[in-house]
Chains A and B, each alone.
Chain A
Amino acid sequence: MTPRWLKPEFRKQGAAALLSSAPLTSTAEDAPVTPPSGYWWWGGRGASVLIEQRAVWVNLGLLLALVLASIAYLCLGSLALDPREVIGALAGQGSMMTTFMVQELRLPRLVAACLTGGAFALAGILMQTLARNRLATPGIIGIDNGATAFAVASVVGLSVSLAPSAMALTGAVTAAVLTFGLAAGSGTQGYRFIVAGIGVGAVFGAITQLLLARVAIDTANAAYPWTVGSLNARAGGSVQLLAVGLALGLIAALALARSLTILRFSEATANGLGVNAKARRMQILLLSVVLTALAVAVAGPVGMVGLIGPEIARALSTPRHVPVVAATLSGALVMVLADLAGRTLLAPIELPVGIVTAIIGGPWLLWILMRPQRSHA
Chain B
Amino acid sequence: MKVLARAKRLDQRTLLLCLLTALVAVSVVSLLVGAGSVSPLRAFSMLLGSEDSDAHFVVWELRAPRTLIGIAVGMALGVSGALLQAVARNPLAEPGLLGVSAGAAFAVALALVLGASAASLRISVAQVGALAGCLCVLGVARWRGVGNDPIRLVLAGAAFSALLGALTSLMLLFDQRSADEVRFWVIGSLAGRRLDDLWAVLPSMAFCTALIALIARPLSALALGERMASGLGHHPQLIRALVVLCVALLVGAATAIAGPIIFVGLVVPFIARAFAGPDIRRTLWFCLPIGPLIILAADIISRVVVAPSELPLGVLTALCGAPVLIAAVRARRLPML
Contact = CB atoms under 8 A, between A and B. Distances in A.
Interface of A: 135, 182-183, 185-186, 190-192, 194-196, 198-200, 202-203, 205-207, 209-210, 213-214, 228, 346, 349, 351, 354-355, 358-359, 362-363, 365-366, 369-370, 372-373
B contacts with A: majority SS: helix
Contacts of B310: 213
B169 A355 contact: yes
B309 A213 contact: yes
B170 A195 contact: no
A334 B318 CA distance: 32
Nearest to A192: B329
Interface string B170-191: 1001100000000000010000
B155 A135 contact: yes
A369 B165 contact: no
Contacts of B332: 185
B325 A191 contact: no
Interface of B: 92, 140, 143-146, 149, 151-152, 154-156, 158-160, 162-163, 165-167, 169-170, 173-174, 187, 262-263, 306, 309-312, 314-316, 318-319, 321-323, 325-326, 329-330, 332
A186 B163 contact: no
A366 B137 CA distance: 12
Contacts of B156: 366, 369-370
Nearest to B170: A355
> Which 3 A-B pairs rank lowest in CB-CB distance, beginning with the nearest?
A362-B163, A358-B166, A206-B318
A349 B173 contact: yes
A266 to B, nearest CB: 21
B330 A213 contact: no
A196 B152 contact: no
A202 B322 contact: yes
Given A191-B152, A195-B155, A203-B318, A182 B143 contact: no
Contacts of B174: 346, 349
A370 B169 CA distance: 25
B89 to A, nearest CB: 17
Given A135-B155, A209-B187, A213-B306, A191 B326 contact: no
Contacts of A209: 187, 312, 314-315
Contact of B159 (A192, A202, A214, A369): A369
B166 to A, nearest CB: 4
A214 B306 contact: yes
Nearest to A304: B162
Given A186-B330, A199-B326, A203-B318, A365 B169 contact: no
B163 A191 contact: no
A263 B321 CA distance: 35
B177 to A, nearest CB: 14
Contact of A191 (B151, B187, B323): B151
B315 A366 contact: no
B146 A205 contact: no
Contacts of B330: 182-183, 185-186, 192, 196
Given A182-B330, A202-B262, A202-B322, A362 B145 contact: no
9 contacts: A190-B151, A198-B158, A205-B318, A213-B311, A213-B315, A346-B174, A351-B170, A355-B166, A359-B163
Nearest to A371: B145
B143 A370 contact: yes
A191 B166 CA distance: 24
A76 to B, nearest CB: 19
B173 A194 contact: no
Contacts of B326: 182, 195-196, 199-200
A365 B164 CA distance: 13
Contacts of B309: 213-214
Nearest to B323: A199
Given A202-B262, A358-B162, A366-B163, A195 B329 contact: yes
B318 A362 contact: no
A363 B166 CA distance: 12
B319 A195 contact: no
A203 B319 contact: yes
